[in-house]
Amino acid sequence: MKIAGHLFKNFNHQPSDPIFELMKRFQADSRSNKVNLGIGMYCNAAGELPVLRSVWLAKEFLKERNQPSRYLPMAGYSDYCCAARALVFGDDADTECIATIQTLGGTGALRIGAEVLKRHFPEAEVWVSDTGWDNHLTIFSNAGFSVRRYPYLDKGSYTVDFEAMYSCLERLPRGSIVLLHACCHNPTGADLSKAQWLHLAELVRDRGLLPFFDFAYQGFAAGIDEDAYAIRLMERQNMAFVVASSFSKNFALYGERCGALFFCCQNESQAGLVQGQMEYAVRGSYSNPPLHGADIISYILHETGLCDIWRTEVTEMRERISGMRQCLLDALSRNSARLDYYRLSGPRGMFLDSVLSPTEVDQLRSQLGIYLAPSGRLCLAGLNQANVEMVAEAILDIVDKRSI
């Protein structure tokens, strides 16, 4: 027996994360016709996780350059930070007022942002959408916040129930932190309209709320610049808010962990103070971020030719996903008059709510090797011409059995 081996014996069992657990099960599944529609990763028309051409070209250049692997500063690679900031806020943003760091993906940005906020607003509550991305609950409660939910979706029309959302937010105490999905709301795909964002910006300003944007899908709703509408709107109005950005999806660089955290401040001196706090949080967490992914992205964004290639590739990914959404909806509604829900084509982005129950999701997986998130969320980016009809038939089959 190990000395002091008893020290860990009282650790509670931590249930595994449902999405990563699913990915493990998918990898262990030996069926050749299995379909992964669980985790949010983009696959191309051939069903493969792509290496974008822009990324491949940048990697070739970097390989040739063969630089040693130095430590980055706590804030990360400064060329990357500038390029990321321009991508999110546009070229005419007031950059001096935006404190910026490179982060470990969008999740890392959320986590460091939460830590900085908790230190300065210990009493604030964090409000997230109902439904939303479950990891927001984990991230903000791990940072010590109490997390509450504001109403978001009108299930009848499958659009944002803006009235309900607004009337909840307008009653929050000043200084409450409101988590907003800038585009491609995960999991519903239902986003605010431009008019609604304008209203929300007014509300946030009048009520003294602190918006925290999660921007994980830039380019996957309408376009790189279009998707930044709400963020740029608030920045141009000189409002104070936070943005956690992810480049996992739009560069297909899931494993490189590239993201950025921005605090939009009212002036340069505030931004300097916030920058120090962000860097302090990084130093006590992982010290400084890794270089390779940031080097790739920075090189692409600074080279006009490569950047054009990348923008085209983002358009292709977006169009392929929305084409697959249409194909699936067509197949579903063609074959069932009862499924009104599946006629809705308003939602955008990678996901579709299959409206299947957890038991039905389980049946799809065990009987046919079709993997959806346990919540019923289906990743459209895993569909292609070879599997979409089969998936539609499987869903219809399950739904048909319901009414017997």
- Nearer Cβ to ligand PMP (182/394): 182
- Nearer Cβ to ligand PMP (186/218): 186
Contact with ligand PMP (CB under 6 A) among 188, 218, 248, 298: 248
Stretch that binds ligand PMP, among 43-51, 102-110, 143-151, 358-366 (CB under 6 A): 102-110
Q: Is 347 in the site for ligand PMP (CB under 6 A)?
A: no
Q: Is 259 in the site for ligand PMP (CB under 6 A)?
A: yes
Stretch that binds ligand PMP, among 48-56, 99-107, 272-280, 379-387 (CB under 6 A): 99-107
What mask of x and - would describe binding to ligand PMP in positions 113 to 142, judged by CB under 6 A?
A: --------------------x---------
Residue of 249, 295, 310, 353 marked active site: 249
59 part of the active site: no
User: CB of 173: closest distance to ligand PMP in angstroms?
Assistant: 25
206 part of the active site: no
3-state SS string for the chain: CCCCHHHHCCCCCCCCCHHHHHHHHHHHCCCCCCEEECCCCCCCCCCCCCCCHHHHHHHHHHHHHCCCCCCCCCCCCHHHHHHHHHHHHCCCCCHHHEEEEEEEHHHHHHHHHHHHHHHHCCCCEEEEEECCCHHHHHHHHHCCCEEEEEECEECCCCEECHHHHHHHHCCCCCCCEEEEECCCCCCCCCCCCHHHHHHHHHHHHHHCCEEEEEECCCCCCCCCCHHHHHHHHHHHCCCCEEEEEECCCCCCCHHHCEEEEEEECCCHHHHHHHHHHHHHHHHCCCCCCCCHHHHHHHHHHHCHHHHHHHHHHHHHHHHHHHHHHHHHHHHHHHHCCCCHHHHCCCCCCCEEECCCCHHHHHHHHHHHCEEECCCCEEEHHHCCCCCHHHHHHHHHHHHHHHCC
Q: Is 40 in the site for ligand PMP (CB under 6 A)?
A: yes
Contact with ligand PMP (CB under 6 A) among 186, 188, 218, 298: 186
Contact with ligand PMP (CB under 6 A) among 114, 183, 216, 282: 216
133 part of the active site: yes
Residues that are catalytic: 133, 214, 249
Positions touching ligand PMP (CB under 6 A) are 40, 105-107, 133, 181, 186, 214, 216, 246, 248, 259
